[in-house]
Amino acid sequence: MRFRPLAISVAAALLAAGLSGCGTINQSISAGMGDYIPQWAGGLPADAPPRPGTAKYDEFMKERERRRLMPASEREKEDQAKQPAADSDDVIR
Cα torsion 45, 48, 50, 52 to 10°: value is: -110
5 within some domain:
no
20 within some domain:
no
Name the residue with higher pLDDT: 92 or 64: 64
Q: Which of 49, 66, 48, 45 is nearest to 57 (CA)?
A: 49
32 within some domain:
no
**Confidence check: pLDDT of 32 > 70:** no
Q: Which of 68, 31, 65, 26 is nearest to 48 (CA)?
A: 31
87 within some domain:
no
Per-residue confidence at 8, pLDDT binned at 50, 70, 90? confident
Domain count, the chain: 1
Domain housing 70: 45-82
**Confidence check: pLDDT of 93 > 60:** no
What is the Cα–Cα distance from 35 to 58, expressed in whole angstroms? 18
The per-residue pLDDT for range 49-81, each reduced to its tens digit, is 888 888 899 999 999 999 899 888 888 888 888
26 within some domain:
no
